[in-house]
Chains A and B, each alone.
Chain A
Amino acid sequence: MRAGPGAAAALAILVAVVLQAAVLSRLPLPGGPPNLVLVLVIAIGLAGGGSAGLAAGFGAGLLTDVLSDHPVGVLALCFALAGFLAGLLDPDVRRSVLLSVVVVAVLTGAVYLIYLGVMGLLGRPVADGAAGVLGTIAYDVVLTPFVVPLVMAVTRRFAPARRGL
């Protein structure tokens, strides 16, 4: 990744984490909160490929970790995997907005499962169980058509010749 897209991704992640804490987590919605940071990570994976998704996921997860109460590294692991897997999908799949919605739904569910699994392994109490996950998946799906095309467009501006890779 060159400095331009890397810096843009870092800035976007920082903004997303702040919005997540200050706005999205506080919305009085039923179920779990929407997870803008995760949607962004998946979008970066879809737009920039496996390596970009991996790096963005690890960075975003780590930042969220140090600002949260759980052990540092848990979300870095979850988000890195999500970004990486999104980036490994075929370029045709990755460019379809409709399919990106499915990808976000599946990966959001997967991230929650891994998170709950790791917290279970560590013997940490986890409240509310999986009840909120469906809400989060639904909200993330709603965010996807806004976030993914935006990230795609920005990526294309940085690498016009390489056609979304």
Chain B
Amino acid sequence: MMAPTRGQRRAVILLLLLSVVLITLDHRGGAFRGVRGAAHSVVDPAQDGVTTLVAPVGRFFGGLGDLGDSGRKIDALQKENAELHRQLRESELSSTRSDELQKLKLLSGQGGFTVLPAVVTGLGPSIGFEWTVTVDAGRRDGLQPDQTVIDSDGLVGRVKQVSERSAVVVLAVDPGSAVGVRVAGGNALGVAAGNGLGPLTYTPLDPSTRVHVGDRLLTGPYGGSTYVAGLPVGEVTRVSGDPGAPAREATVAPYVSFSSLDLVGIVLASPRADPRDRLAPPSPAATTPEHTP
């Protein structure tokens, strides 16, 4: 081991202090939203490129020209443009991912949502522990923070950060994620929290609620969660304590296979009416899609 020179020692101390200042600023108030957005707009296109190379998919990259500058017209045109983007995306994706797209449209059709299909281009580059993905749709496609993201099996997560052509989605399995849920066929509400890649933890709001293995959880009604109501979340696989007795916690296998996300849909618009149990998958575990243990 060589002893660091005086200059090096000073540089280390300076950078460590700088890191601590940055961490403090960002932890307190999210001071770097703009910087994060800018970084994403630089890196995500490259990421798109690599994803396209790795899993060849023809996709649309046409730029959006200058739209002139008369406010209301721009709004209308942007909306129309986003809708056209959506249709174009659908027709392009239908050639490469037609099965998945059909299933996604089936689910969104049943719920009456308008869904923008998007492809996952990358996972968060961090060192594990946090569960976010980047998708290849952004502001120009009409995405906004907090929109709900689904795939053909159910709830994936919500939009966290939007750049021009890409967006970051926090998955429902992220340890910071908590989804307000309702048990299908009833009105019992609760919270499904993420634990990283693996089962969710369901906690009923009312501790006297009986939870059963096989209970299907859907996103909660309006006001109950930031997510669109009535989306399939997962199925209870294990209840702590005696079966049938009031339980404080239950393990929930998510319907969505989070380890192999590819085609997802961002819910751009949804009816005010709660679809209730219409989207719930068939009851017993027989048809549950595979999930990671």
Identify the A interface with B (CB < 8 A). 14, 17-23, 25-26, 28, 32-33, 35, 37-38, 50-51, 54, 58, 61-77, 80-81, 84, 88-90, 111-112, 115, 118-119, 122, 124-128, 132, 136
Cα A70 to Cα B173 in complex, Å, equals: 15
Give the dominant DSSP class at A's interface. helix
With A69-B168, A84-B12, A127-B131 as known contacts, state yes or no: A20 contacts B2, CB within 8 Å.
Answer: no
Q: Report whether B127 and A136 are in contact in the complex, using a CB–CB cutoff of 8 Å.
A: yes
Identify the B interface with A (CB < 8 A). 1-4, 7-8, 11-12, 15-16, 18-23, 25-27, 31-32, 35-36, 39-40, 43, 46-47, 50-51, 54, 121-132, 134, 160, 168, 170, 173-176, 194-198, 259-260
5 A/B residue pairs, CB under 8 Å, sorted by A:
A18-B46, A63-B39, A74-B19, A75-B127, A88-B1
Contact of A73 among B19, B40, B54, B175 (CB under 8 A): B19
Q: Report whether B12 and A67 are in contact in the complex, using a CB–CB cutoff of 8 Å.
A: no
Q: A69-B168, A74-B19 are in contact. List 5 more A-B contacts (CB 8 A).
A: A38-B127, A67-B36, A68-B130, A80-B16, A122-B27
Cα A84 to Cα B152 in complex, Å, equals: 47
Q: Report whether A58 and B15 are in contact in the complex, using a CB–CB cutoff of 8 Å.
A: yes
Contact of B130 among A14, A63, A69 (CB under 8 A): A69
Q: Which residues of the other chain, B, contact A64 by a CB distance below 8 angstroms?
A: 125-126
Contact of B124 among A21, A58, A77 (CB under 8 A): A21
Contact of B40 among A38, A67, A115, A132 (CB under 8 A): A67
Q: Report whether A67 and B125 are in contact in the complex, using a CB–CB cutoff of 8 Å.
A: yes
Cα A120 to Cα B272 in complex, Å, equals: 40
Q: Which residues of the other chain, B, contact A89 by a CB distance below 8 angstroms?
A: 1-2
Q: Report whether B47 and A22 are in contact in the complex, using a CB–CB cutoff of 8 Å.
A: yes
Cα A155 to Cα B259 in complex, Å, equals: 38
Q: Top 3 A-B pairs ranked by shortest CB distance?
A: A127-B196, A73-B22, A77-B19
Cα A23 to Cα B35 in complex, Å, equals: 24
Contact of B19 among A14, A17, A80, A90 (CB under 8 A): A80
Contact of A23 among B8, B32, B54, B160 (CB under 8 A): B54
Q: Report whether A77 and B197 are in contact in the complex, using a CB–CB cutoff of 8 Å.
A: no
Q: Report whether B50 and A125 are in contact in the complex, using a CB–CB cutoff of 8 Å.
A: no
Q: Report whether B196 and A68 are in contact in the complex, using a CB–CB cutoff of 8 Å.
A: no
Q: Report whether A32 and B127 are in contact in the complex, using a CB–CB cutoff of 8 Å.
A: yes
Nearest A residue to B46, CB-CB? A18
Q: Report whether A22 and B23 are in contact in the complex, using a CB–CB cutoff of 8 Å.
A: no
Q: Report whether A72 and B35 are in contact in the complex, using a CB–CB cutoff of 8 Å.
A: yes
Nearest B residue to A131, CB-CB? B196
Nearest B residue to A50, CB-CB? B8
Q: Which residues of the other chain, A, contact B47 by a CB distance below 8 angstroms?
A: 18, 21-22
Q: Which residues of the other chain, A, contact B46 by a CB distance below 8 angstroms?
A: 14, 18, 22
Q: Report whether B127 and A35 are in contact in the complex, using a CB–CB cutoff of 8 Å.
A: yes
Cα A115 to Cα B27 in complex, Å, equals: 14
Q: Which residues of the other chain, A, contact B16 by a CB distance below 8 angstroms?
A: 77, 80-81
What's the nearest-Cβ distance from chain A to residue B158, in Å?
12
Cα A79 to Cα B40 in complex, Å, equals: 20
Q: Report whether B19 and A22 are in contact in the complex, using a CB–CB cutoff of 8 Å.
A: no
Q: Report whether B132 and A22 are in contact in the complex, using a CB–CB cutoff of 8 Å.
A: no
Q: Report whether B23 and A66 are in contact in the complex, using a CB–CB cutoff of 8 Å.
A: no
Cα A126 to Cα B196 in complex, Å, equals: 8
Most chain B CB within 10 A, of A66, A88, A115, is at A66
Contact of A77 among B23, B32, B128, B170 (CB under 8 A): B23
Cα A22 to Cα B57 in complex, Å, equals: 14
What's the nearest-Cβ distance from chain B to residue A160, in Å?
22
